[in-house]
Structure 1
Amino acid sequence: MADHPYRRAPAEAFWKGAVSGLDVFDVDPVTPPAFTIAPADRVASAGSCFAQHIARYLKTSGFDFLVTETAHPIAAPEDAEAFNYGVYTARYGNIYTPRQLLQLFQRAYGRFAPLDDAWEAGGGRWIDPFRPQIQPGGFASRAEYDADRAQHFTAVRRAFETLDVFVFTLGLTEAWRSREDGAVYPLCPGVAGGHFDPARHAFHNFTAGEIVADMVAFLDLLRSVNPRSRVILTVSPVPLVATASGRHVLTATTYSKAVLRVACEQLVGEQPDVAYFPSYELVTGPQTRGRFLAEDLRSVTEEGVANVMRLFLKHHCGIDVPRFGIEHAVPAGDAHLTAMAELVRLNCDEEALARD
């Protein structure tokens, strides 16, 4: 019989045996990572709402999750959480696109100053266009807003300069940006502050090439202040809440996730010390049979998150979490599941687009 490359391929290269016929918890698509995370490594995170789970699990697994922007010591934990402290490494809220991430770095280091830098909300209150829901009710005055933003940028710089590993979860390709200077917002102006003006604001759907270019530009800047930094990319498995593309939201979601996944693959192949972790595949792949999605077919169940993080901890951190512990950790109706669903909703800017 003639020889060919598939005869020497490993078992995981074949759908039969690697996917079909296996229990959902036995499917492990994670390839050996380019690097691992040691307990002493300072791990920072940013990205879409799903990225919050990585921070939560690392904190409870004995790893050094880096937080550079903290609430006042007298603030109660629930108050600090309500004001978005500790959700990510710094208080930057959701960063859905690499362009947002790149511009955050540029703004924090004084390399970019958007013309549209503050929104007046009435009653003397102010909203940050690039963190529109970070401060419930807005900042009490422009002076308070300016002081908080300066403190925030200091925390961002400290994060980029001191992290060892940066985990970034790419969430969307769709964005709204300023026609004046290209500043990208996490939400369309008018949704959670500001006023939408078609003469000043434009919709943009990023291509794979643009995503790669923005990430390369960010990586170059990050390495300029922190040469030892390593990066793990993931793609959020959470579908779009809404689309402005003119497509059905289902096909718009498929496009968005496909573009992000392609961009990640290219970046991993071309950039040193950049790895990809398949959060998206672990939640949305056919092997799950929809098990890890809630009734809305959008929210990821705690069981799904736990399985993703089980494999993340196994491959990147060298921690074995028993499958049994995850499979039975969250019974139906569990109060913790309800609380986590609320936590993600409160800290997900995109949810403001949803219609009741």
Structure 2
Amino acid sequence: MPFVIAPGDAVATAGSCFAQHLSRSLAAQGFRYLVTEEFAATPGALDENYGVFPARFGNIYTARQLRQLLERAYGLFRPGARAWALPDGRLVDPFRPRIQQGGFPDLEALEADRRRHLAAVRRMFEACDVFVVTLGLTEGWVAEADGAAVPLHPGVLGVETPPGAWRFLNAGFAETLGQMEAFLAAFRSVNRRARVMLTVSPVPLVATYEDRHVLVSAVASKSILRAVADELCRRDPGIAYFPSYEIVTGPQAGGRFYAEDLREVTPEGVARVMALFRRHCLTGTPKPAMPPPAAAAAASPPSAPVCAEERARYEALTRVICDEEAIVMPGGGA
């Protein structure tokens, strides 16, 4: 490991759903998890999902999304898509459509919230000492007009758009590597001191738009992401890699860290990943924090739940926000 995280380091995280476990664990252990966007009681804003992410950008599934988040924050990319209209008339931000479930009452409220949000994103990039990226997917949807990447096809939310406005993109190795290289260059242009840690989410795809079995797509996607992470670490020995993916999926795990659906990582699996992260990536003894109940549960899981009710309660606390779930929920579809 080329570096470790000290109690005073401001740590920001971004990536797929699994990144939320890392942020909860850091906060619960008293490390300095950086949060730059806090709730502001303004028209159209709800106190929803603040503090789950450093800034309220939601899950960042693809390398293109990550690059464009930075570019949008600094005015380097201005996508044509401004808002999506839900069936009830309320509006959502196309780039974080599930961050506020009820949407916004009008475009003015949405764009005011977006301006505050992007200012918080800039503060995150500039203030962090360590930036941890959890690579999650290669499949995604982009605008045909300008290549803007979104976490969900608008149809999943019942949003009507012109035919052909959005197209499916499954990024290969070269595309993903190029996007990550461009992101890292831009990131270092605004924060030269920050260290970068990469990891790959062990959560497989819930569905695929490719004409093949989802298992084939999941293995292809994770293989590309793992190879990209390896290539970036080879080129820059200062970039750290933490093996979340290998801990859960490797033969030594024997498949025991997956739930019955063979997709969700069990609380025991999360606990194992976080314990090894603590052992190998963190140093020092931070001041004990007062975490929210979910963070406390994620950091200190019961080794043997005393009953089914207790186990169910624990699993509810460790659930994460996942846009992919909308694809398979009743009424969802692309």
Q: Same fold (TM over 0.5)?
A: yes
Partner of 2:75: 110
Contact persistence 1:175–1:185 (CA under 8 A):
yes
Do the aligned partners of residues 353 and 332 (structure 1) sit closer, same or farther apart at CA in structure 2, a change above 3 Å counting?
farther
Alpha-carbon distance in 1 for matches of 2:34, 2:281: 17
Mapping 1:279-290, distance limit 5 Å: 279-290=244-255
Contact persistence 2:267–2:315 (CA under 8 A):
no
Mapping 1:178-327, distance limit 5 Å: 178-192=143-157, 194-318=159-283
Q: Which has the higher contact order (CA 8 A, sep 6+)?
A: 2
Partner of 2:315: 338
Alpha-carbon distance in 2 for matches of 1:231, 1:158: 17
Q: Match of 2:157, as an amino acid? A: A
Percent identity of paired positions between Structure 1 and Structure 2: 53
Please give the per-residue CA displacement for 1:314-351, whole angstroms capped at 9, x wherever unaligned.
1110379xxxx86826556324423235x31xx11111
Partner of 2:113: 148
Please give the per-residue CA displacement for 1:207-250, whole angstroms capped at 9, x wherever unaligned.
11111111111111111110001111111100101100111001
Do the aligned partners of residues 327 and 142 (structure 1) sit closer, same or farther apart at CA in structure 2, a change above 3 Å counting?
closer
> What's the CA shift for 1:192?
2.1
> What's the CA shift for 1:195?
2.5
Contact persistence 2:86–2:158 (CA under 8 A):
yes
> What's the CA shift for 1:63?
0.4
Instruction: Extract unaligned runs of 5+ from structure 2.
Output: 286-299
Partner of 2:4: 36
> What's the CA shift for 1:198?
4.3
1:45 aligns with 2:13: yes
Aligned-partner SS, 1:64: coil
Alpha-carbon distance in 1 for matches of 2:241, 2:217: 23
Partner of 1:11: none
Alpha-carbon distance in 2 for matches of 1:252, 1:123: 34
Alpha-carbon distance in 1 for matches of 2:39, 2:305: 30
Q: Aligned Cα RMSD in Å?
A: 2.0
Contact persistence 1:108–1:157 (CA under 8 A):
yes
Instruction: Extract unaligned runs of 5+ from structure 1.
Output: 1-32
Do the aligned partners of residues 302 and 192 (structure 1) sit closer, same or farther apart at CA in structure 2, a change above 3 Å counting?
same
1:121 aligns with 2:89: no
Do the aligned partners of residues 293 and 120 (structure 1) sit closer, same or farther apart at CA in structure 2, a change above 3 Å counting?
same
Identify the match of residue 66 of structure 1 among 23, 28, 34.
34
Do the aligned partners of residues 142 and 211 (structure 1) sit closer, same or farther apart at CA in structure 2, a change above 3 Å counting?
same
TM-score, normalised to structure 2's length? 0.88
Partner of 1:5: none
Aligned-partner SS, 1:214: helix
Do the aligned partners of residues 126 and 223 (structure 1) sit closer, same or farther apart at CA in structure 2, a change above 3 Å counting?
same
Aligned-partner SS, 1:231: strand
Contact persistence 2:87–2:159 (CA under 8 A):
no
Please give the per-residue CA displacement for 1:35-89, whole angstroms capped at 9, x wherever unaligned.
1101000000111000000000000111000000112489xxxx84xx2111111
TM-score, normalised to structure 1's length? 0.83
Contact persistence 1:235–1:261 (CA under 8 A):
yes
Runs of 4+ aligned structure 1 residues displaced above 6 Å come to none
> What's the CA shift for 1:123?
4.8
Partner of 2:328: 354
Larger of the two Rg values belongs to structure = 1
Contact persistence 2:86–2:157 (CA under 8 A):
no
Aligned-partner SS, 2:325: helix
Mapping 1:78-97, distance limit 5 Å: 80=47, 83-97=48-62
Partner of 1:30: none
1:54 aligns with 2:19: no
Q: Match of 2:113, as an amino acid? A: D
